[in-house]
Amino acid sequence: MDIEQLREYCVAKKGVTECFPFDEYTLVFKVMNKMFAVICLEKPCNIILKCDPEYAIELRENYSAITGAFHFNKTHWNYLNTNEGLPENLIRKLIDHSYELIVAKLTKKDKEILNNL
């Protein structure tokens, strides 16, 4: 997946916004103001995603293109190099997984707001 495909897939999700909170090269996707995906525009074939810790270990053992995310809590965040042969359906599945992890942790009030969007 290229950067536009990654971006389009992320922003198509309900309640998602995009911003540059760190610098002009780090595009962050949030749902209800909670980060679920990060793309570095200097390395546009890479995406950082939240992940269940046990699933993260499994993914890293099975795919050399998936590692712990630099500058993030490596227990909960994966770095994916999308140029290293990761199947597009897996990348989409991992974006969905990251989004769903964040939505599951939202407050009842934020979930209600999200559901009404």
User: What is the H or E stretch that residue 81 is in?
Assistant: strand 77-81
Give CA 23 to chain center in angstroms: 18
Tell me if 35 is assigned to some domain: yes
Give CA 76 to chain center in angstroms: 11
What pTM did the predictor assign?
0.94
Residue range(s) defining the domain that contains residue 8: 3-107
Decide: helix, strand or coil at residue 30: strand
Tell me if 62 is assigned to some domain: yes
Q: How many domains does the chain have?
A: 1
Query: How does pLDDT run along the chain (117 residues), one tens digit per residue?
Result: 888 999 999 999 999 999 999 999 999 999 999 999 999 998 778 999 999 999 999 999 999 999 999 889 999 999 999 988 899 999 999 999 999 999 999 999 999 999 999
Q: Cα(115)–Cα(92) distance, rounded to whole angstroms?
A: 21
Return all residues near 111 (Cβ < 8 A) that are at least 6 apart: 103
